[in-house]
Amino acid sequence: MRNEVIELAQELIAIQSESSLSNATISDFLQNWLEKHEFAVERICYADPNGVEKVNLIAKVGEGPGGLGFFSHSDTVPGNGEHWQPFSPRVEEGKLYGRGSCDMKGPLAASMIAVKSIDSSKLRRPLYIAIAADEEVGHVGAHFIQRASATFKENWPTWTVIPEPTEMVPVYAHKGGALITVTATGRAAHTSLDTGISANFLIAPFLAEMAELAKKMKSEERYKNREFDPPTNGFNLTINDGGCATNVTAAKCVANINFRLMPNDLHEELIGQIEATATRYNLAVTHRKLMPFFLPKDSQIVQAACRAVNVAAPINVPFCTEAEGYQKYTQCVIFGPGSVGQAHTVNEYVKIDQLELAVVAFQRMIVELCL
Ligand SMILES: [Zn+2]
């Protein structure tokens, strides 16, 4: 088992699948592997905004209603290859290094080895593996799966494990996120002519109001949720005028506001307030959001995960996962090997003993819920 999970994770890491590239090659590999192990595989393709082919896979073994799913993604953040060898996986001192080792090709491999070990003729309920594209760029593939999967139109699993890295501690809740983009449009002109309109001056009064709002968000209790640490929403703002030269008026200035959503927070009021402020200053404004995730701690899937690793209580985390969308259809627990502190870093790694623990824990959950 040890060699199997390491070998499979290494094979996945070696197939480059940063979100900007097509994930067709790694999806071919995964589909072959799943079909070899008795899964029926649905392949959903789409073109991303740059016209690049993206592939989602939904694999099913076993029959009947309900069941258990393991939902992962096959894309990674950029490899940053100038600093290390991200696509040449290596094992050193009990750690597997490589881009995606921890987020989330190692965890995906652990779920695949766990389901492979089960005698599918004994399943009382179906098992699913879903592998989405474009998780790292806004959960695009997962949202596609939710809309378009014929497999899931027939039946969603009752329970789902999302094996994002949580060091194998079950997670029952996490924050979501909102991104609000505000654009001021001016007119570029050389300052010697003094005929320009600076987009920066147009947006400045709006920015001043956002600075006041940021203070309120940190201090007022009604914007906080004490279930989380920190209880605040991390309200942030960045500005881009395209690096305008100092002797030219800026033609365009874009402010991006980002904050984290929490269950039962005031995000709708907040987004409405920010949009109204932008409109008052004649600025263009758009927003998109990823919902927070929450499932009661005593729900069956969270408790099954706790039992699988002998953990007394589940935790919540400040980062967002695809559970934000899947929770409408299936009861999710975030539960996977490795530390999120390793995700997206140069020299990303996952500890081998975490991968092994994941295989055993996932097997236990399958036995408890589906056999
Ligand atoms: Zn991930």
Tens of pLDDT, residue by residue over 20-42, are: 999 999 999 999 999 999 999 99
Please answer whether residues 144 and 45 qualify as being in contact, where contact means their C-beta atoms are separated by less than 8 angstroms.
no
Domains of the chain: residue spans and CATH: 2-174+292-370 (3.40.630.10), 177-290 (3.30.70.360)
What stretch of H or E contains 256?
A: strand 252-259
120 DSSP 8-state letter: G
Please answer whether residues 41 and 344 qualify as being in contact, where contact means their C-beta atoms are separated by less than 8 angstroms.
no
Ligand 1 centre and the CA of 166: distance in Å? 11
Ligand 1 centre and the CA of 165: distance in Å? 8
Ligand 1 centre and the CA of 363: distance in Å? 21
Within 8 A by CB and 6+ apart from 353, the residues are 94
Please answer whether residues 302 and 195 qualify as being in contact, where contact means their C-beta atoms are separated by less than 8 angstroms.
no
- Amino acid making up residue 231: P
Ligand 1 centre and the CA of 130: distance in Å? 13
Task: Give the pLDDT of the chain (371 residues) as one tens digit per residue.
Answer: 569 999 999 999 999 999 999 999 999 999 999 999 999 999 999 999 999 999 999 999 999 999 999 999 999 999 988 889 999 999 999 999 999 999 999 999 999 999 999 999 999 999 999 999 999 998 999 999 999 999 999 999 999 999 999 999 999 999 999 999 999 999 999 999 999 999 999 999 999 999 999 999 999 999 999 989 889 999 999 999 999 999 999 999 999 999 999 988 899 999 999 999 999 999 999 999 989 999 999 999 999 999 999 999 999 998 899 999 999 999 999 999 999 989 999 999 999 999 999 999 999 999 999 99
Ligand 1 centre and the CA of 177: distance in Å? 15
Number of DSSP helices (H) and strands (E) in the chain, helices first: 10, 16
Ligand 1 centre and the CA of 143: distance in Å? 15
Ligand 1 centre and the CA of 192: distance in Å? 51
Ligand 1 centre and the CA of 190: distance in Å? 46
Ligand 1 centre and the CA of 242: distance in Å? 31
Ligand 1 centre and the CA of 196: distance in Å? 45
Ligand 1 centre and the CA of 27: distance in Å? 16
Query: How many whole angstroms separate alpha carbon 146 and alpha carbon 299?
Result: 22
DSSP 152-204: HHH---SEEEE--SSTT--EEEE--EEEEEEEEE-B--BTTTT--B-HHHHHH
Query: How many whole angstroms separate alpha carbon 58 and alpha carbon 145?
Result: 8
Ligand 1 centre and the CA of 73: distance in Å? 7
Please work out, in degrees rounded to the nearest 5, the angle formed at the alpha carbon of residue 104 by the alpha carbons of 23 and 261: 100
Angle at which helix 300-309 crosses helix 352-370, to 10 degrees, equals 130
Please answer whether residues 168 and 337 qualify as being in contact, where contact means their C-beta atoms are separated by less than 8 angstroms.
yes
Ligand 1 centre and the CA of 346: distance in Å? 15
Ligand 1 centre and the CA of 241: distance in Å? 31
pTM, to two decimals: 0.87
Please answer whether residues 148 and 89 qualify as being in contact, where contact means their C-beta atoms are separated by less than 8 angstroms.
no
Ligand 1 centre and the CA of 300: distance in Å? 24
18 DSSP 8-state letter: B
Q: Is 223 left (phi over 0), alpha (psi -120 to 50) or beta?
A: alpha
- Residues with CB in 5 Å of ion ligand 1: 103-104, 164
